[in-house]
Structure 1
Amino acid sequence: MDSPPVDVDLALVGGGGAASLVLAALDRHGVRDVRIAVVDPVHRRGQDRTWAFWDQPGNDLDELLSASWSRVEVVTPDLHRTLDLTPLRYAMLRSGPIYERAAEAERRLAVTRILASAGRVDDDGERVLVRTGDGRPLLRTRWLLDSRPRPPRRPGRTNWLQHFRGWWLTADRPIFDPARAVLMDFRTPQPTRGVSFGYVLPVDSRYALVEYTEFSPDLLSGAAYDAALAGYRDLLGLDPARLTVTEVENGVIPMTDGPFEARPSPRVVRLGTAGGATRPSTGFTFSAMHRQAEQVASAVADGRPPVPAPAYPHRHLWMDAVALRALDAGLVDGPDFFGRLFDRNPASRVLRFLDGHTTVAEDLAVMRSTRLQPMVTATVADAAGRLRDRLAPARRPAWAVPPPVVGSASPGAERADPDR
């Protein structure tokens, strides 16, 4: 005979970065006497991913950071820029401290952890019933926060990926400058369709994450990522005989103008990439996940529905759609596009724009940084694409996971949603 479902007030399906940030925020906001459950077949621990992001110093993440930088470099084939990010910083956070803080929060919040894969989700408007993959009742909750990966509500007109491989390198002598990070180095060979760059995040003079990243429609083979990384290492003038690769990181993040459905039913709220936290034009996710967690926790502490605000303004998502189309169609050169943004704007404005925190006047300044004619062409094409989408039957991008049927959710734990 099946056991009755666990009854709670708030449930989190998926136990990765998004859920961990929510748990820590609930604890920090003093939430008590709320029955909480986490459903995930894996209890996350240790260093399984790295996030990089920009913010202002003096928040709850300070003591968890592996490193941070107020000065970064953006390099194109014709220019080497050193940018002062003040009053912002570029920061690196590994997953271990986040998982540890979440585990401490679980104990103080008396969270029920269910080591299982969630399947179908039924929301009757009052309670949400979560079932296992084979349909057995698993959990019943007043509110469900779901961070499992989902495809967009409709396919995007442009569907790219941010995909990357990074090597954690230990050197036998001081070779890195811990005072500066390389944010984007576009001297890497550029793909036929897409943008590539390397970057360097030094923790100290002998230890750094060196990574190769592409924005493009298709993934590479493992050998191709390694070859690209070796080429970038050589470009930096690093002697492989003096280096040891201690860890390898990989990631794939959607870059699409397809809209993600953050509120699929009255009492189901999606977080992370599934909830729209990934910036379509860059793949950055962590800052928006952190904002979502703070908003959810504040709402629960005040007795309000745990529904965060949209991650980015609608006008920014439109600008991202135009930029993606321009890059995908080859109307603009990727290194030139990003280089002009940093050349013609204060670095802090560009970073605040990418986080969705700029004013309309600042947005116009960012738009004026780009080449006019290609962006006008992309804007017209985007408008035509939106019209076609209204008239044509739905399509799904090849990279999307199978969509859930109405009232249900596909089995599986939260996928890694690394934010660079």
Structure 2
Amino acid sequence: MPLLFRSGAGAGSDNGAVDVDLALIGFGGATSLLLTALDRHGVRGLRIAVVDPSPTRAHRTWAFWTGPADDLDPVLDAAWPAVDLYGPSGLRRLDLGPMRYAMVRSDPVFDLAAEAAQRLRAEVVVAQAASLTDDGTSVTVRDPTGALIVRSKWALDSRPARPARPGRTFWLQHFRGWWVRADSDVFDPASAILMDFRTPQPERGVSFGYVLPTGPRTALIEYTEFSPERLDDDGYDGALRAYEKLLGLKNVTVTQVEDGAIPMTDAPFDRRPSARVVRLGTAGGATRPSTGYTFSAMRRQADQIAASLAGGGAPVPAAAYPRRHLWMDAVALRAWDRGLVGAPAFFERLFTRNPPGRVLRFLDGLTTPGEEAALMASTPLVPMTRAAAGDLVARFGRGSLPRR
């Protein structure tokens, strides 16, 4: 693997600050995808700096919808043409063709980014970006001591950020996953379990398990909740042990653990806090409020930025999701949070009363208004109408603070 991280020239010294055209703040999924997109679009001649305080990166797994062919195919852990859904009425197998549900681990994505960074001749500054100051013509990046480390024409910031203002509902998609290995063939590599609502449901929120097999004996088994608060370690581990038992798994060994939490909120994020600072990832609005899905939107952001720069434009992506989708997500979150609609029944109806491709396009923010009308008609109309009315009142009256 090419060496990506190295000490930035002059980091910590105003006189030796790196002068670039593009500063990428934070090195995670969003920046990795952007580096590979810049390389794929043939962007050359730009001076690029990546600013991150650590040469190590957390291991994580991303799952996403894709077509019959994908740029990431060489590094995918697995892809499935069908998924299983365990809802209130039982098991449904959903044929996704021609789309697929795919999974990739972060290490090969980071490796591709490292190779792209070398071809792009990107400078990597191992330092913490404490402040970004935009004077309208350039952005200065300083470390916690106030020392100037980078001057850049543009800064693309993928670090976590708070919403611009409070929302009306604030939940988390929080989860823990076990990579497991069995001593016999117990998994079906042809299908993933997308949502298994047979897990015990929390008093406020929704839980489900899912199983992403990479072979007949290996899989990622995960317990997920959509709810206001995270669990403690015993809570996640107990839920995963119970889910293994529900699946009938015996003699499996846990080889790796991963967990995390993603905001699910109708609170808006400021995608462009100043003229030359652009946010990416969750802080840039890439997270779908009703599901927590982020990866596909990060890829779109990266591709749009790279295409614009390749054509001589500004590195500013379009909004990840249409405004009408964000409104529908706000209504769904309100309906679940106020107990107007049960999320298991909601998702079951969504998937079983619509072609799977339509649902997947909706989750990625790519449907037409006509398709969205059909999707809304498949949900429980009376309680969803009540949720929409309540959301409207909250937007323009009292009650705009998040319920936690």
TM-score higher than 0.5 here?
yes
Deviation at 1:323, TM superposition (A): 0.3
Residue number in structure 1 paired with 2:180: 169
Deviation string 1:54-100 (CA, Å, 9 cap, x unpaired) is 01132211111100001000102421000001121000010011100
Equivalent of 2:103, from 74, 92, 98? 92
| In the alignment, structure 1 residue 122 sits paired with structure 2 residue 133 | yes
Equivalent of 1:301, from 301, 305, 310? 310
Q: Secondary structure at 1:166's aligned position in 2?
A: strand
Compared with structure 1, are the counterparts of its residues 396 and 44 closer, same or farther at alpha carbon in structure 2 (3 Å cutoff)?
Answer: farther
Q: Secondary structure at 2:272's aligned position in 1?
A: coil
| In the alignment, structure 1 residue 226 sits paired with structure 2 residue 237 | yes
**Aligned residue type for 2:358:** R
Deviation string 1:260-312 (CA, Å, 9 cap, x unpaired) is 11111000000000000000000000000000010111111111000001000
| In the alignment, structure 1 residue 71 sits paired with structure 2 residue 60 | no
| In the alignment, structure 1 residue 30 sits paired with structure 2 residue 39 | no
Residue number in structure 1 paired with 2:114: 103
Deviation at 1:12, TM superposition (A): 0.3
User: Structure 1: how far apart are the matches of 2:46 and 2:31?
Assistant: 16
**Aligned residue type for 2:103:** M
Deviation at 1:230, TM superposition (A): 0.5
Verify the 8 A CA contact 1:155 1:397 in the aligned structure 2.
Answer: no
Residue number in structure 2 paired with 1:316: 325
Q: Secondary structure at 1:204's aligned position in 2?
A: coil
Deviation at 1:332, TM superposition (A): 0.4
Calculate the TM-score normalised by the size of structure 1: 0.91
Residue number in structure 2 paired with 1:82: 93
Calculate the TM-score normalised by the size of structure 2: 0.95
Residue number in structure 2 paired with 1:388: 397
Verify the 8 A CA contact 1:15 1:44 in the aligned structure 2.
Answer: no
Verify the 8 A CA contact 1:76 1:335 in the aligned structure 2.
Answer: yes
Deviation at 1:148, TM superposition (A): 0.4
Residue number in structure 2 paired with 1:402: none
Compared with structure 1, are the counterparts of its residues 397 and 293 closer, same or farther at alpha carbon in structure 2 (3 Å cutoff)?
Answer: farther
Deviation at 1:31, TM superposition (A): 1.1
Compared with structure 1, are the counterparts of its residues 396 and 112 closer, same or farther at alpha carbon in structure 2 (3 Å cutoff)?
Answer: farther
**Aligned residue type for 1:59:** D
User: Structure 2: how far apart are the matches of 1:22 and 1:78?
Assistant: 42
Residue number in structure 2 paired with 1:404: none
User: Structure 1: how far apart are the matches of 2:51 and 2:402?
Assistant: 28
Equivalent of 2:202, from 185, 191, 211? 191
Q: Secondary structure at 2:209's aligned position in 1?
A: strand
Deviation string 1:114-152 (CA, Å, 9 cap, x unpaired) is 111101111011100111122221111001100000111
Percentage of matched positions with identical amino acids: 61
Q: Secondary structure at 1:317's aligned position in 2?
A: helix
Residue number in structure 2 paired with 1:179: 190
State the superposition RMSD in angstroms.
1.4
Structural mapping, 1:149-168, within 5 Å: 149-168=160-179
| In the alignment, structure 1 residue 259 sits paired with structure 2 residue 268 | yes
| In the alignment, structure 1 residue 370 sits paired with structure 2 residue 370 | no
User: Structure 2: how far apart are the matches of 1:201 and 1:50?
Assistant: 11
Number of positions where the alignment pairs a residue of Structure 1 with one of Structure 2:
392
User: Structure 1: how far apart are the matches of 2:390 and 2:55?
Assistant: 45
Verify the 8 A CA contact 1:178 1:204 in the aligned structure 2.
Answer: yes
**Aligned residue type for 2:343:** G
Where does structure 1 lack aligned partners over 5 or more consecutive residues?
399-420
Deviation at 1:108, TM superposition (A): 0.7
User: Structure 1: how far apart are the matches of 2:303 and 2:370?
Assistant: 27
Deviation at 1:388, TM superposition (A): 2.6
Where does structure 2 lack aligned partners over 5 or more consecutive residues?
1-11
Equivalent of 1:13, from 12, 22, 25? 25
Deviation at 1:397, TM superposition (A): 8.3
Q: Secondary structure at 2:214's aligned position in 1?
A: strand
Q: Secondary structure at 1:189's aligned position in 2?
A: coil
Equivalent of 1:348, from 351, 357, 363? 357
Residue number in structure 1 paired with 2:155: 144
User: Structure 2: how far apart are the matches of 1:44 and 1:298?
Assistant: 29
**Aligned residue type for 1:109:** L
Residue number in structure 1 paired with 2:8: none
**Aligned residue type for 1:180:** S
Q: Secondary structure at 2:397's aligned position in 1?
A: helix
Deviation string 1:33-71 (CA, Å, 9 cap, x unpaired) is 1000000012345x7000001011322111111000010
Verify the 8 A CA contact 1:154 1:396 in the aligned structure 2.
Answer: no
Residue number in structure 2 paired with 1:55: 66
| In the alignment, structure 1 residue 284 sits paired with structure 2 residue 282 | no
Verify the 8 A CA contact 2:169 2:402 in the aligned structure 1.
Answer: no
